[in-house]
Amino acid sequence: MAMPNEPTVAVAGVTGAVGQEMLACLEGRGFPVGRLKPLASARSAGKTVRFRGEDITVEELTTASFAGVDIALFSAGGGVSKEFAPAAAEAGAVVIDNSSAFRMDPEVPLVVPEINPGDAAAHHGIIANPNCTTIVTLMGLNPLHREWGARSVIAASYQAVSGSGAGGIAELEAQVKAIAEGRPVERQVYPCQIAFNVIPQVDSFLDGGYTKEEMKMQNEGAKILGAPGFKASVTCVRVPVYRSHSIAVTAVFDSEPDVARARELIDAAPGVRVCDDPAAGLFPTPLDTTEQDDCLVGRIRKDIVLDKALTFWVVGDQVRKGAALNAVQIAELLVGR
């Protein structure tokens, strides 16, 4: 069935940080929304969201919410996606899901529009949005992979508290304020104090010592790049930054890479730019990408330990390109933009 020129768009989880960013991206990019259907839990039903100058009432998310919906953007967690996304697809909507629920399902495309847009056409009603750290890393890696063939990466991520949702941001704010006022620090979201600290755990641990978050880069990266043999050894770290993830990457290639050529390839790729002149103090930081669409890459250099390897630093807004923007870009593929 052809997608209407002005589709009806549902946003499930609309009151959350990513849901709100989805609305901002839809409006800011001029997506041709014919009708918006904001959806959330019963607790949030009846609230209003602002879209294109209008206040629109939020409806409770149920299995019956998707009659007449053409595109359903989901950002309400894996449990909600598993419960309601199949009903949305059954009702005729194309689901773009921001959770991990369907990413590794072989029947579900896992799409970064700048990297594998053609995969979106193979959907059966559900398209998965990749993990935020994976997206940001691959935005820097993919131009190099296409030239030299990426075999593996060793990476360390520096992940903002926005990756834990509104609760993570609130906890960092509250802890910073408590410390400044000499009050005891309280923690609920993280296992350790996050203010003025770093925590080498993102998500739960698996057998072998890696976390679920760390394995996503290998598993999702191989699927997105179309490289079944791709390997990734990753340490994911939560840092006291409000928004935007940073990743230090060492990538090993099939053929010998070149630094100058790497800069050319990255600058020529959509959605990513080089910011790399350390002598002049020029390199990407999280604040440089916050509320920005593009990812930034700097500190590009030949690795001095591994053969055929480059080391670089890539930064991107976790809420925007790592989640909401990527989902809206997938929706743009569906309407042929």
Could you tell me the two tokens for 161?
């508290």
List Cα–Cα distances, 133 to 41, 203, 238, 282, in angstroms: 27, 12, 12, 22
Q: Could you tell me which residues are beta bridge partners of residue 302? A: 310
Annotated catalytic, 132? Answer: yes
Which residue in this structure is represented by tokens 């990812």? 295
**C-beta of residue 157 within 8 angstroms of C-beta of residue 247:** yes
Among the listed residues 236, 245, 275, 295, the single catalytic one is 245
* 82: alpha, beta or left? (left if phi > 0; alpha if psi -120 to 50): alpha
Among the listed residues 25, 132, 236, 295, the single catalytic one is 132
The four Cα atoms 132, 135, 137, 143 give a dihedral, to 10 degrees, of -170
**C-beta of residue 249 within 8 angstroms of C-beta of residue 312:** yes
**C-beta of residue 249 within 8 angstroms of C-beta of residue 141:** yes
- Residues noted as catalytic: 132, 245
